[in-house]
Amino acid sequence: MSVPKNIETFLEYLGDAIALVNSNSKIEFANRACLELFGFQREEFIGQSINIVIESEHTEKHAHLVKQFIQTRAEPRRMMSRSALKCLTKSGYKFIARISISTMEINACSYGIAIIQDFSTQQKMVDDIKHKSNTDPLTMLYNRHYLEKVTLSDNRWLTSHHSVAVLYIDFDRFKPLNDLYGHAFGDFILKSVALRMKETLRQDDLIFRMGGDEFVVLLALDNKSDPLKTAKDIAKNLYQEISRSIRFEDSEVSIGASIGLGLYPNDFDDIEILIKLADKAMYHSKKQKQLITCVSELPKTL
């Protein structure tokens, strides 16, 4: 197909990357911006399948959707109403694209017209914003806000594990040391110990800073071992890492920790309530000067 000169001039004038394809996903026209985006010369791009610029995992599905869209002359779909698509250039560089699509009739034949934008920079900005909203800026652990997301009943992480152990951890002797040495010291302690705890945990476990020197750990458990024993063993390992001495300038200090432990759904089938019970168990540990108190061991009066 030869694109009429007036249409070609107009599509070049728009400046955005634009491609025209037939129902078999064959590229009939691409403006200069499109050729520059994907790194092709016109003669090596026109006549090829649009799939040459789409990651292989999406090509079969994409070809079917293109054919269906053009043949049914579907309603135009705007860029932000569609999912981002993984594309690649001639050199193999991969990027996230946002694409708006419509149909166009030329000489009684229907074609699909796509306006394509590299969304990688914007996507990185979106990912960065999400990361910052879910992360404690001092320790770089997850924050209370993200814990609220994870504990929703339909959260994928929560539903993908047979059971979950909740560890509610509060440092011992942190406040007097912070008052004695100053906030710079306190920040150093929090960052150092947070890193130790994170490195002690397994890949599927999650750790959150609740504020101050309080932390919540969610342990992913399976049905192959005793969940309580597994949770206690990990809690003891965390305690050992927390208690290891820390050197700051000319001082060497150590802190301890009090831990409350609950099992979901064994102890309680509402994880938000279980976290609150693990918090109470932690305070019971602190009051009794013991390392771990299980939710199941809490006095009935608490």
With the C-alpha atoms ordered 147, 151, 154, 155, is the resulting torsion angle positive or negative? Answer: positive
Residue 145, amino acid = H
Residue 212: strand, helix, or coil: coil
Residue 107, amino acid = N
Whole-number Å distance between alpha carbons of 288 and 56: 60
Whole-number Å distance between alpha carbons of 183 and 162: 41
Whole-number Å distance between alpha carbons of 217 and 197: 9
Whole-number Å distance between alpha carbons of 298 and 281: 6
The H or E element spanning position 96 is strand 94-106
As annotated, the active-site residues are 213
Whole-number Å distance between alpha carbons of 86 and 232: 44
